[in-house]
Amino acid sequence: MPTRDQISYFGAGPAPLPTPVIEESAKALVNFEDTGLGLSEISHRSPTANKILADAKSALSILYDFPLEGENAYDVLFMQGGGTGEFSASVQACVGWWVERRRRRAVADLGEGKEDEVIERVRKEIKEELKVDYLVTGSWSLKASQEAARLIGSKYINVATDARKANNGKFGKIPQEKEWQLTDSKKSAMVYWCDNETVDGVEMPSFPESLKGRGEDDGVVVADMSSNFVSRKLNVKDYGIIFGGAQKNLGIAGITVIIVRRSLLALTPKADFLQRLSDVLPSAIPPVVFEFATIAKNNSLYNTLPIFNLYIATLVLQSLVKTFEEKKVSGQEELANRKAELIYDTLDKYADAYHVVPDKSARSRMNICFRIKSRGEGDPGTWDEAREKAFLASAEKKNLMGLKGHRSVGGIRASNYNAVTMPSVQKLVAHLVEFAATG
């Protein structure tokens, strides 16, 4: 049986974790700090749980360099439901904030005590102006847009870009910003994208220029970073909401992290006001466990938070802070880039054997998707599934695991998450070279 250090795991999620984190977490699961209790057995409202929460928030704010207090502060929330749960929570939150802004404006114009008139004005504005924008660049952003349509109605959904239209009906390329059809930022409740599409191997190259400089009255910028979380530097102030499931770069499944601008939470509308608008907004009220303001007010402890899962994420974040020191998340970005470049350079060098699926302009650093070509002459754009099976089988014999592509895409997918080591990447590259010559 292989030992842990002999396995190189490239699975897309759940993903590998740093071995020291696994070892420390194993101790905590059995007997946390010699208390005689495992960490999953303690109360989520205990001082121990609160300290773990505080440590996680502190480490994350250091890595991404954003304030937890004062002007322009952000809240860090830990919830459940994964990234998919946040498809719902984010659109319901942003639409609610949009409605509350309009309500306050109507009250200011019409005066206090005119609730019926305020309701009618907001209802009219919803019908005529409300939109939520989606940049559909892969399978996950498509699902997010579909969930928004299910909740609030397709008439309010604006797909500002659908990458399939620029790539022969398939994902793999991000259209240029000048081609996006964004709603006027004063009318849009939000603009959403998935920063890294795990299924399709597509990553947003950088923060969109067209979304920079948005103010408090503009549509909220929302990014799903489930699969490239803490893997590159970003300016948190450009975003209203950043969210991600934990099971890629942060920890294990069971918690979701949300970074949200605190000033937005004060816009949460009263449920009875939204209820009176249910004829035009059927599902704009989130379940209480998905309401950001409630979770923030209760320090992520409104319901039972899995503290053991959070502890693993805390160890990962603290490890990054310690490892990269003043470089912060930029240090991890440099490492991620080096690993990805090594794999892509090898695939490009042996282009007679391998085809990288996404366009070079949108290649993901986290999920490297490629196909294997037939030997000799063959139709362009056709792949040799028998050779792909042989590639996977020979890889597993070398303890290179988790390389099978997503069922909807096929081929090979090497996920280059933060805990994938450089030696593991080098072993994969050696296999790529050998298979190109002999496979």
Q: Provide the pLDDT for residue 381.
A: 62
* Model pLDDT, residue 379: 57
Q: What is the pLDDT of residues 184-226, one digit of tens each?
A: 999 999 999 999 999 999 999 999 999 999 998 999 999 999 9
**β pairing state of 220-224 and 188-194:** parallel
pLDDT at site 42 = 94
Q: Are 101 and 158 in contact (CB under 8 A)?
A: no
Vertex 24, ends 22 and 29: CA angle to 5°?
Answer: 90
For the residues 377-403, what does the mean pLDDT come to?
89
Task: Give the pLDDT mean for 339-360.
Answer: 97
Residue by residue, DSSP assigns 78-125 as: EESSHHHHHHHHHHHHHHHHHHHHHHHHHHHHH-TT-HHHHHHHHHHH
Considering the chain, tell me which residue range(s) the CATH 3.90.1150.10 domain(s) occupy: 328-438
- pLDDT, residue 2, reads 87
Q: Residue 222: name the closest of 200, 189, 250 by CA.
A: 189
Q: Are 175 and 168 in contact (CB under 8 A)?
A: no
Give the pLDDT of residue 34.
Answer: 93
Question: How does DSSP assign 372-404, residue by residue?
Answer: EPPSSS--TT---HHHHHHHHHHHHHTTEE--B
Fold topology of 50-312: Aspartate Aminotransferase; domain 2 (3.40.640)
* pLDDT, tens only, 66-112: 999 998 999 999 999 999 999 999 999 999 999 999 999 999 999 99
- pLDDT of amino acid 1: 81
CB environment 204-230: b (16+ within 10 A), e (fewer): beeebeebeebeeebbbbbbbbbbbbb
Looking at the chain, which residues constitute the CATH 3.40.640.10 domain(s)? 50-312
What is the pTM for the complete model shown?
0.97
Residue 377's pLDDT band, with cuts at 50, 70 and 90, is low
For the chain, what is the mean pLDDT?
A: 96
pLDDT band at 439 (very low <50, low <70, confident <90, very high): confident
Q: Which two tokens stand for residue 5?
A: 């250090």
- The pLDDT of residue 135 is above 60: yes
Q: Which CATH number fits domain 328-438: 3.90.105.10, 3.30.70.1560, 3.90.1150.10, 3.30.1330.20?
A: 3.90.1150.10
Spatial contact of 204 and 308, defined as CB atoms under 8 Å apart:
no
